[in-house]
Chain A
Amino acid sequence: MECQECHERPATLHFTQYINGQKSEVHVCEVCAKEKGYMNYPEEGYSLHNLLSGLMNFDTSTIKGPQQNTFKQVQELQCPKCEMTFSEFKQVGKFGCAVCYDTFSGRLDPIFRRVHAGNTKHQGKIPKRQGGDLHKKKLLEDYKMKLRRLIEDEAFEEAAEIRDKIKALENKPEDPEEGDPS
């Protein structure tokens, strides 16, 4: 079985996780397990505060054992806008500005995954004015998901309606290069 994260290495760690009552099987290699924060879950019964400071201090060395990291010089990440460093961020538990999200982006997935029950990607509202093309993109995604579901359920008449809607959206002149259907 290959690792579900990198699809390269064989999965060597197999476990079941319960997030918000939802059960899911996880098959990953050791490298991805460390990177993606699948390991080192805190025990149950913590307060939000413990949780936060605990997860901010997430450090791969706790998995590998400290000795392996001793010789590795870690370059400290620092936000070019607000000058917050990654270790300050871990300590305070707050971002200093919007740019921090880019600066620390490579290290945020494990944190978000823990705080938000495995989620790392926004699904909600898009700003009305600033959102621009994103509104259309999201609508298309929603339609396509609906279409897949309808086809699975063999509701072909409704599926055809949705397909027409997708076509109409995609053929809108202001954005001709939008993706390819089917």
Chain B
Amino acid sequence: MTLQNFMNEAISPWMREEGPDSDIVLSSRIRLARNFANISYPIIADKDKLEEIRDFFRDNYEHQSFEEYKDFAFVAIGDLSPVEKRVLVEKHLISPHLAENAETAAAIISENEQVSLMVNEEDHIRIQLYFPGFQLENALQKAFTFDDFLEEKVNYAFDETRGYLTSCPTNVGTGMRASVMMHLPALAMTKQINRMIPAINQLGLVVRGIYGEGSEAVGSIFQISNQITLGKTEEDIVEDLQSVVKQLIDHERKARTRIMEQSRTSLEDRIFRSYGVLEYSRIIESKEAAVCLSNVRLGIDLGFIENVSRNILNELMILTQPGFLQQYAKRTLSANERDVLRASLIRERLQLEK
């Protein structure tokens, strides 16, 4: 597997499969933070120690496979151009923080992009596992087996009382962050989500917007994850998160039905206007594109728009990010140039559906 494959396709291979409740839950993710027992953490460790860790991963895992995750690519972040780094961040294969740690950071990514392992992020090891749709339990089981696979060769920093010892006190214990990405346009439209977020926070869960700065959700896509990592089992944490997600799914479906009953025509109008904008505009900013894509996706889910695949939201949300556009253009683009290219890529992509 080479870096080029990750760069060319906006949509990761695992996203092509449809998971349970995928009209609302786009993806499920489990992240485990782990560290070597005998080496200082990346914020303080000597560079040569961190390089040893990086080389350990290259020597032991490059081109290896684990179960259905084949042919791991080893990517040294320091070898990447700024645009390439950005593309990996936009695809959620690496974190923005990893991209900054260029000197010693690396990523191990499986061929289907379902597993990615970040080396020398805030912790020595961050295991990330994605599943399409609402499949947190499956993701957790897989993450556990992958964790065991790594532990065959790595001595983890672990303590009976404190659990997995992470660099940040907010991750100690399980070191686990479970999250789901949800498309909640009806709850956002009716502003119900604003009332629900504080209640969800009360339960020790966090809600934030996608590509999240603050809690503004671009295109009605929200990420919900656990905050607490200590004092509960991973299974309990996932169960708590699942029960909230189930309720959100339920509320979103009810809100969609209610809007359909009460203001069907204006909803239809909104959806088709957005469709029109995507199909005909020549300049489009990323925020407007996100809003229109969200509306079109809702139109597909509600049956207003036929013959356009649901995946178009996931795919175009990534494809129209600045990094990807520049990767596509093979050069640096100004904001204006990006808006033009974005509009043209969206038009082309919609043409493909016809």
Contacts and interface: CB of A to CB of B under 8 A. Distances in A.
A136 interface: no
A101 interface: yes
Interface string A71-102: 00000000001101000000011111110010
A121 B158 contact: no
Interface stretch (B32-40, B105-113, B319-327): B32-40
Contact of B152 (A21, A95, A129): A129
Contacts of A108: 169
Interface string A108-145: 10011001111111111111111100100000000000
A124 B163 CA distance: 7
B165 interface: yes
Contact of A95 (B41, B158, B203): B41
A20 interface: yes
B36 to A, nearest CB: 8
B232 interface: yes
Contacts of A115: 169-170, 228, 230
Contacts of B202: 20-21
A122 B230 CA distance: 5
Contact of A122 (B43, B155, B163, B169): B163
A108 B158 CA distance: 16
A46 to B, nearest CB: 11
Contacts of B223: none
B231 interface: yes
A111 B171 CA distance: 12
B39 A122 contact: no
A168 interface: no
A127 B163 CA distance: 9
A127 B40 contact: no
A101 B158 CA distance: 10
B341 to A, nearest CB: 35
A85 B310 CA distance: 53
B43 A96 contact: yes
A1 interface: no
Contact of B231 (A82, A120, A129): A120
B44 A101 contact: no
Nearest to B148: A128
A94 B231 contact: no
Contact of B44 (A20, A82, A127): A82
A116 B165 contact: no
Contacts of B339: none
B157 interface: yes
A21 B202 CA distance: 6
A93 B168 contact: yes
A91 B173 CA distance: 22
Contacts of B227: 48
A21 B203 contact: yes
A94 B168 contact: yes
Contacts of A48: 170, 206, 227
A94 B122 contact: yes
B110 to A, nearest CB: 21
B158 to A, nearest CB: 5
Contacts of B163: 122, 124-125
A52 interface: yes
A124 B160 contact: no
Contacts of B147: 125
A129 to B, nearest CB: 5
Contacts of B45: 82, 97
Interface in B222-278: 227-234, 236-237
27 contacts: A52-B170, A82-B41, A84-B44, A94-B43, A95-B166, A96-B44, A97-B41, A98-B38, A98-B157, A101-B165, A112-B162, A112-B169, A115-B169, A116-B230, A117-B204, A117-B231, A122-B159, A123-B173, A123-B233, A124-B234, A125-B164, A125-B174, A125-B234, A128-B148, A130-B156, A131-B158, A134-B160
Interface of A: 20-21, 48, 52, 81-82, 84, 92-98, 101, 108, 111-112, 115-131, 134
Closest 6 CB pairs of A and B: A119-B231, A122-B163, A98-B157, A116-B230, A124-B174, A96-B44
